[in-house]
C-alpha cells in the first residue's frame, strides 16, 4: 500500500477518534462521523445502516441523503445492495449502482442522483452490526485504497459500537448487551434452570482501536506473534502426542506461522489501527471469507483461526483466560463448545449449560446428562451477546434460552420451575413404592448413569437399579487410553455404591459423534451409521478385551451384567460374547475370582436385529431397546438434525407395531426386554410401552418420579384397549387418543 494512502488512513482515523471523544448522544456521534468520512474521502454521501433486529437494517445516519429518511428507511437482510453487503459480509464497489443485481431504489432517500456505490460491512468477529456506505454522482469505481480505508473505518466503528459509543433511542441504537434476547436452540439435556452467565472464555475487549505510533504497534504485534508461535511449537514438542494429534497441531501451526496473516495485520497497523484492532479486523475478514466456502473442512478451520486470534489478543492485552472475576451465584456456563473433562471440572456447581455448538450425543451432552444439568445446544451467537453475570434462564426441554429476560418472562418461567419442583416433592412420596398399575402389573423402573456422581440418585430417585451405565465417559475425559486396573477400581466403586442393586454396564460406545482423542478418527460421510460401538470393539479386540477384564475383576465374585451396544446381526453378538467367555476362562486360569453369575445382553438399536434368527434371542440373556438410535434409523431422521428429529412420534402406530414385533420375539424365548432412552422417561410414552408389554424402563433419574406416578394411577389393560381402538380407527398416532383417555382417569 502506498505511503500516501497509509498516512491519509491514519489521518482519517485520528479525526474519527477525536470526533468520538467529544461528548454527545449516540445519534450526534453518528451524524458527525458520516460528515467526517464524506469530507475526508471527498464523497457526496456517507451513510451508516445498523441492524435493528437480526433481519432488518435501518438507515441510522447520513450525510448527503435526505435527513428525514433517517430511522425511516429499512431493508431486509439481502435486500438491495446494502442488504447484500450485510448478508455476504463482503464489500460491493460499483460505478453504476442501478445496473447491479439486486439493486433497490429507495425514493425517500433522494439517492437517485448518485451513480457510484461502495458499501462495506460493519462487523466484529462474526457478529454483523451494519453497513457503511459512500456514494458519489460520478460514475466511477472506488480505488482499492479507498475500499481498504473504508474497511478500516468500519472496523473502528464496530469496536466503538461494542463499547457503547452509539446508544440512543430506537432499536438500531439500543445499547449492546443490555436488551432481552431469546435464543432458540436444541435440547441437549432436559430440565430448567435460572442463574447468571459464566463465560467459559471471557471476551477480550479492545479499548484502543486507533493508534498514533505505528512503529510501536508493529513492534508489539511482531513480538506477540513470535510469543504465540513459540507456545504453539511447545505444544508440538510434547512427547505425549500421537500421530493424529500431531497432524491437528501441525495445521494449527500453519496458521500461526502464516506470513500472509502477519503481513495483513501489519498493513492494518500502518493504516492507523492499533495492534489489537488489527487482530480483530483480520479475524473478522477471514471469518467472512471462510463462512462463504462450501468445503466443510475449510469452514471448520474457523475454530483454529478464532482460537489463535484469541490467544494473540490475550498476549497483547494481558487479559488471560482467568480474568480474576468471581464466578457468579447460580452460574450457567455459556460457551462455543466445551470438552467433557472441562465440564466435569465445573461439576455440579453449574445450574445449566448453553452451547453455540454441540449435539445431542456429544461429549458435553453425555456429561450434562450424567450430572443432571439442563443443556441447550445450537444457541447461535450467544457468546457474542452474553456478558459475565447476565441474568439467564434456560429451558432444556424446549431448547430455549432467555438472556436478560423481561420481568413478565421471568415470572412465567419461575412459575413453571415452581410447578416442576412441587411435582418432584409429590414424586418423593413414591420413592419406595413399586410402579404397580391398577391392574396389578409391575413395571421395573431403572435409571441411566455414567459417573460415580450419579449413584446417589439411585436411592433418592426411587429407581430399582441402573439399566444403563455408560462406560465411555471414562475414556472420553482422558488424553490417553485408561489402564485396566484403573477401570477395574472404578467399576468396583460403582458396584459398591449401588449396594446390591443391579447395574448393567454397557461396553464402550464410541464413534459417531463420540470420538476418542487418542483413537485415529475416520472421515465418514454418515458417522451415525458408520464405524462405532461394537464395530469398533470387534475391529480393535484389544480394547474390548481390556474392558471386559476390568469388569470381571471389578465384580470380584459378585453378579455382573454386561450389555453390548449397536449390535446389528447375530454373529456380532456371538463374537463379542466369545471374547467375554475367553476372558472369563483366562481369569479363572490365573486364579482370579470371577462373577458368581453373569448376564450378557444386547442393545437393540437397529431394526435389523429384530429379525435375527431365534438362536440370537435364545443366546442373549436380555435385550434393551436403545430408543434414541432406533428411532432415528426407523424413521430415517437424523437425531442431530433439529429440522427432522422432532418430526416423528414414537407413538406412531408403525413404530408401536415394530415394538410389538420385538416384544413377541422376546416372549417366544422368555428373553427379558427393557426400553432405554429419552422416550422411556416421558410418562405418556412410558405408559404406552408398558401397555404393549415392556416390563422394564430405564431413564434419567429425574424422570423416575413422573413415570412411576402415572403408571400407578392407570390400568394398563385399559390403556392397551385405547391403543387398539386408535389403531383400528386408522389413526396415524395413538397420542391424541391416549391423552383424551387420561383426561377421564381419576386418581
Give the pLDDT score at 233: 79
**How would residue 588 be classed by pLDDT, with cut points 50, 70 and 90?**
very high
The answer to whether residues 378 and 356 touch, using CB atoms and an 8 Å cutoff, is yes
Sheet holding 391-395, edge to edge: 181-184, 400-403, 391-395, 192-199, 331-335, 352-355, 375-377, 186-189
Give the pLDDT score at 159: 80
Picking from 255, 256, 282, the residue whose alpha carbon sits closest to that of residue 271 is 282
Cα 615 from chain centre: 42
**How would residue 324 be classed by pLDDT, with cut points 50, 70 and 90?**
low
C-alpha cell at 690: 408398558
Least confident residue range of 58-62, 261-265, 461-465, 514-518: 514-518
**How would residue 69 be classed by pLDDT, with cut points 50, 70 and 90?**
very high
CATH 1.10.274.10 assigned to 214-317: yes
Most confident of 145-159, 308-322, 645-659: 645-659
**How would residue 127 be classed by pLDDT, with cut points 50, 70 and 90?**
confident
Give the pLDDT score at 360: 67
The more confident residue out of 229 and 553 is 553
Q: What pairs with residue 377 in β-bridges?
A: 186
Upper half-sphere CA count for residue 710 (Cβ side, 13 Å): 23
Per-position DSSP letters for 123-160, written without gaps between them: EETTEEEEEEEEEESS--PPPHHHHHHHHHHHHHHHHH
Whole-number Cα distances in Å, 672 to 279, 395, 663, 695: 61, 36, 9, 8
Contacts of 243 (CB under 8 A, 6+ apart): 520
The 8 Å CB, 24+ separation contacts for 314-319 are 314/204, 315/224, 315/227, 315/228, 316/220, 316/221, 316/224, 316/275, 316/276, 316/279, 317/204, 317/205, 317/206, 317/276, 319/202, 319/204, 319/205
Range 300-322 average pLDDT: 73
Give the pLDDT score at 75: 92
Residue 1 has pLDDT above 50, yes or no: no
Question: How far apart are alpha carbons 469 and 471 in whole angstroms?
Answer: 6
Q: Is 391 a catalytic residue?
A: no
Q: Do domains 181-202+325-419 and 430-744 have the same CATH topology?
A: no
Picking from 382, 342, 347, 413, the residue whose alpha carbon sits closest to that of residue 197 is 382
Range 663-692 average pLDDT: 96
Residue 89 has pLDDT above 90, yes or no: no
- What's the first-to-final CA gap in the chain, in angstroms? 81
Give the pLDDT score at 565: 94
**Residue 36 belongs to what H/E stretch?**
helix 26-41
Sheet holding 56-63, edge to edge: 74-76, 56-63, 45-53, 127-136, 116-124, 92-94
For 331-354, write each residue's pLDDT tens digit. 999 988 887 767 877 877 899 999
Is this prediction's pTM over 0.95? no
Residue 670 has pLDDT above 90, yes or no: yes
What are the backbone dihedrals phi and psi of residue 9, each rounded to the nearest 5 degrees, phi first? -65, -45
Give the pLDDT score at 246: 63
Count of positions (residues) in the chain? 747
For 155-199, write each residue's pLDDT tens digit. 888 888 877 777 776 666 666 777 888 898 888 888 889 999 998
| Average pLDDT of the chain, as a whole number | 85
Residue 26 has pLDDT above 50, yes or no: yes
Considering the segment(s) 430-744 as one domain, its CATH architecture is: Alpha-Beta Barrel (3.20)
Give the pLDDT score at 658: 97
Catalytic residue among 363, 378, 402, 570: 363
Residue 240 has pLDDT above 70, yes or no: no
Q: Which fold has domain 181-202+325-419?
A: Glucose Oxidase; domain 1 (3.50.30)
The more confident residue out of 397 and 729 is 729
Range 220-234 average pLDDT: 86
Give the pLDDT score at 665: 97
Residue 245 has pLDDT above 70, yes or no: no
CATH number of 8-163: 3.30.450.40
Per-position DSSP letters for 102-116, written without gaps between them: T----GGGTGGG--E
Catalytic residue among 187, 561, 666, 676: 676
Least confident residue range of 169-178, 415-424, 730-739: 169-178
Range 672-685 average pLDDT: 94
Range 7-33 average pLDDT: 78
* Domain spans of the chain, in order of start: 8-163, 181-202+325-419, 214-317, 430-744
What are the backbone dihedrals phi and psi of residue 468, each rounded to the nearest 5 degrees, phi first? -155, 115
Q: Is 501 a catalytic residue?
A: no
Burial 495-506 (b: 16+ CB within 10 A, else e): bebbeebebbbb
User: Longest Cα pair distance anywhere in the chain, in angstroms?
Assistant: 95
Question: How far apart are alpha carbons 741 and 502 in whole angstroms?
Answer: 35
Most confident of 53-67, 331-345, 561-575: 561-575
Contacts of 611 (CB under 8 A, 6+ apart): none
Give the pLDDT score at 301: 61
Residue 607 has pLDDT above 80, yes or no: yes
Range 297-308 average pLDDT: 65
Amino acid at each position: 500500500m502506498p505511503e500516501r494512502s497509509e498516512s491519509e488512513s491514519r489521518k482519517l482515523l485520528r479525526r474519527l477518534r477525536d470526533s468520538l471523544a467529544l461528548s454527545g448522544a449516540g445519534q450526534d456521534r453518528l451524524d458527525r462521523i458520516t460528515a467526517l468520512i464524506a469530507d475526508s474521502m471527498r464523497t457526496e454521501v456517507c451513510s451508516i445502516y445498523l441492524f435493528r433486529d437480526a433481519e432488518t437494517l435501518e438507515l441510522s445516519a447520513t450525510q448527503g441523503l435526505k435527513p428525514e429518511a433517517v430511522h425511516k428507511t429499512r431493508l431486509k437482510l439481502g435486500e438491495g445492495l446494502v442488504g447484500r453487503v450485510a448478508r455476504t459480509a463482503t464489500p460491493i464497489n460499483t460505478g453504476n449502482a442501478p445496473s447491479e443485481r439486486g439493486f433497490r431504489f429507495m425514493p425517500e432517500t433522494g439517492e437517485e442522483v448518485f451513480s457510484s456505490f461502495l458499501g462495506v460491512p460493519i462487523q466484529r468477529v462474526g457478529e454483523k452490526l451494519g453497513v457503511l456506505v459512500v456514494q458519489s454522482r460520478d460514475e466511477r469505481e472506488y480505488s482499492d485504497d479507498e475500499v481498504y480505508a473504508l474497511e478500516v473505518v468500519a472496523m473502528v466503528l464496530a469496536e466503538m459500537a461494542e463499547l457503547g459509543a452509539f446508544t440512543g433511542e430506537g432499536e438500531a441504537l439500543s445499547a449492546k448487551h443490555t436488551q432481552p434476547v431469546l435464543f432458540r436452540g436444541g435440547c441437549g439435556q432436559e430440565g430448567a434452570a435460572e442463574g447468571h452467565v459464566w463465560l467459559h472464555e471471557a471476551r477480550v475487549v479492545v479499548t484502543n482501536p486507533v493508534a498514533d505510533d505505528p512503529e510501536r504497534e508493529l513492534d508489539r504485534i511482531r513480538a506477540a506473534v513470535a510469543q504465540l508461535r513459540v507456545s504453539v511449537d511447545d505444544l508440538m514438542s510434547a512427547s505425549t502426542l500421537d500421530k493424529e494429534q500431531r497432524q491437528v497441531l501441525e495445521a494449527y501451526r500453519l496458521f500461526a506461522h502464516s506470513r500472509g496473516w502477519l503481513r495483513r495485520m501489519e498493513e492494518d497497523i500502518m493504516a492507523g489501527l492499533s495492534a489489537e484492532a488489527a487482530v480483530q479486523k483480520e479475524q473478522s475478514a477471514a471469518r467472512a471469507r471462510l463462512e462463504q466456502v462450501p468445503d466443510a473442512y475449510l469452514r471448520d478451520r474457523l475454530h483454529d483461526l478464532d482460537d489463535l486470534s484469541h490467544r494473540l489478543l490475550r498476549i497483547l492485552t494481558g487479559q488471560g483466560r482467568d480474568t480474576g472475576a468471581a464466578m457468579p451465584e447460580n452460574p450457567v456456563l455459556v460457551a462455543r463448545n466445551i470438552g467433557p473433562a472441562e465440564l466435569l471440572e465445573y461439576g455440579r456447581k453449574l445450574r445449566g449449560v448453553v452451547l453455540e455448538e454441540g449435539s445431542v450425543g456429544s461429549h458435553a451432552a453425555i456429561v450434562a446428562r450424567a450430572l443432571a444439568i439442563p443443556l441447550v445446544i445450537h444457541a447461535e451467537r450467544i457468546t457474542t451477546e452474553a456478558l459475565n453475570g447476565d441474568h439467564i434462564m434456560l429451558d432444556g426441554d424446549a431448547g430455549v434460552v432467555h438472556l436478560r429476560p423481561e420481568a413478565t418472562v421471568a415470572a412465567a418461567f419461575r412459575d413453571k420451575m415452581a410447578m416442576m419442583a412441587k411435582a418432584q416433592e409429590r414424586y418423593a412420596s413414591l420413592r419406595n413404592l413399586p410402579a404397580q398399575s391398577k391392574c396389578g402389573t409391575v413395571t421395573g423402573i431403572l435409571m441411566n448413569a455414567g459417573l460415580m456422581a450419579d449413584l446417589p440418585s439411585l436411592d433418592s430417585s426411587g429407581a430399582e437399579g441402573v439399566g444403563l451405565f455408560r462406560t465411555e465417559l471414562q475414556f472420553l475425559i482422558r488424553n490417553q487410553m485408561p489402564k485396566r486396573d484403573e477401570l477395574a477400581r472404578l467399576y468396583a466403586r460403582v458396584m459398591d455404591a449401588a449396594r446390591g442393586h443391579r447395574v448393567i454396564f454397557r461396553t464402550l460406545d464410541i464413534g459417531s459423534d463420540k470420538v476418542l482423542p487418542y483413537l485415529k478418527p475416520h472421515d465418514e460421510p454418515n458417522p451415525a451409521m458408520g464405524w462405532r460401538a461394537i464395530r469398533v470393539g470387534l475391529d480393535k479386540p484389544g480394547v474390548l478385551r481390556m474392558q471386559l477384564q476390568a469388569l470381571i475383576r471389578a465384580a470380584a465374585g459378585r453378579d455382573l451384567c454386561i450389555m453390548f451396544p449397536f449390535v446389528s446381526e447375530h454373529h456380532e453378538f456371538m463374537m463379542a460374547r466369545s471374547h467375554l467367555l475367553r476372558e472369563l476362562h483366562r481369569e479363572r486360569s490365573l486364579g482370579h475370582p470371577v462373577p458368581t453369575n453373569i448376564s450378557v445382553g444386547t442393545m437393540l438399536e437397529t431394526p435389523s436385529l429384530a429379525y435375527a434368527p431365534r438362536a440370537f434371542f435364545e443366546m442373549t440373556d436380555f435385550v434393551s431397546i436403545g430408543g434414541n438410535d432406533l428411532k432415528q434409523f426407523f424413521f430415517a431422521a437424523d437425531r442431530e438434525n433439529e429440522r427432522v428429529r422432532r418430526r416423528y412420534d414414537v407413538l406412531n402406530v408403525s413404530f408401536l407395531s415394530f415394538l410389538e414385533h420385538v416384544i413377541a420375539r422376546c416372549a417366544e424365548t422368555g428373553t427379558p426386554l427393557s426400553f432405554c432412552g429419552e422416550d422411556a422417561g416421558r410418562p405418556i410414552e412410558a405408559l404406552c410401552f408398558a401397555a404393549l408389554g415392556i416390563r422394564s424402563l430405564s431413564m434419567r433419574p429425574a424422570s423416575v418420579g413422573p413415570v412411576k406416578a402415572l403408571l400407578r394411577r392407570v390400568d394398563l389393560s385399559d390403556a392397551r384397549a385405547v391403543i387398539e381402538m386408535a389403531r383400528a380407527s386408522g389413526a396415524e398416532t395413538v397420542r391424541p387418543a391416549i391423552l383424551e383417555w387420561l383426561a377421564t382417569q381419576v386418581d
